Amino acid sequence: MAECDSEIGHGVLYEDFLPLQWREVQEQFAFLKISSFNENNEEVLRFIGVLDEFPNEIGDEYAPIAQELTRVETKLNLLLNLVGQLLTVHFPLPPLKAVKLNPVGIEWITDQGPRPGDFGIVEIYLNSSCPRALTFPGKVEGVEDTGNGYRISVQFLALSASIQERLEKIIFRHHRRRVAMARRRLFPESDKMP
């Protein structure tokens, strides 16, 4: 996990290769559609939040119930994953891009991109089990030639406070899991200690 050094803000980032699409639009369109984008994003983030939750620790006296709930949850997750894969066959996702996301903006690297000051819609898919796009209207704040493409920095427009809060939680969970996985790779023996 890296700290964000660009115009999109500072803090913990969601870094990954994710399906992403940019559509240039007129500034007026972006502002007129903000309420419908916010409604869609609220619903998608709520779904992703539920899918990302891990069950709380349950005491030993409820171990058989906890095992059964885990088994049922695993089956549901498998079913959701299969349905998501089936949907992507008929409705293909955009290409994967190297993405850095925070609650105020996004960066990605692409072969060709918009110009600074352009307005558009960023569609991003955060969870393969929920093949619905988060759609963020935004303004291009920076375009940097990296030699291997262009790093595009987009600041989101008029996100509601609840969307920013949900996005922060998902980004933090993603960050925490990445740190835990990195720690396990560095210290594999610590998992086996009593």
In a domain, 84, yes or no: no
- pLDDT tier, 1 (very low <50, low <70, confident <90, very high otherwise): very low
Domain hosting residue 120, numbered range:
14-55+93-186
Q: Which two tokens stand for residue 184?
A: 């396990």
Asked if the structure places residue 36 within a domain, the reply is yes
CATH number at residue 133: 2.40.10.220
Query: Token pair of 54, please?
Result: 């891990």
Q: Residue 77 domain-assigned?
A: no
**Total domains, the chain:** 1
> Does 108 reside within a domain?
yes
**Start-to-end CA span in the chain (Å):** 29
Would 85 be classed as within a structural domain?
no
Q: pLDDT by residue (tens digit) across 103-148?
A: 899 999 998 878 899 999 999 998 877 778 899 999 999 999 888 8
Instruction: For residue 68, name the pLDDT band (cuts at 50, 70, 90).
Output: confident
Q: Is the pLDDT of residue 2 over 50?
A: no
Alpha carbon distance 135, 129 (integer Å): 17
Residue ranges with strand state E in the chain:
14-24, 96-102, 105-110, 119-124, 134-145, 150-156
Note the pTM of the prediction, 2 decimals.
0.71
Among 11-15, 58-62, 75-79, 97-101, the minimum mean pLDDT is found in 58-62
In this predicted structure, the answer to whether residue 173 has a pLDDT above a threshold of 90 is: no
Question: What SS3 class is residue 186?
Answer: helix
Q: Which residue has the higher pLDDT, 22 or 189?
A: 22
Residue 194 belongs to a domain: no
At residue 8, the pLDDT reads 63
40 Cβ neighbours under 8 A, 6+ residues apart: 132, 134, 135
- Predicted confidence band of residue 54 (pLDDT cuts 50, 70, 90): low
Average pLDDT score, the chain: 79
Alpha-carbon distances, residue 68 vs 74, 75, 81 (angstroms): 10, 11, 20
Q: Give the angle subtended at the CA of 119 by the CAs of 6 and 158, to the nearest 5°.
A: 75
Does residue 1 fall inside a structural domain? Answer: no
- Asked whether residue 173 is assigned to any structural domain, the reply reads yes
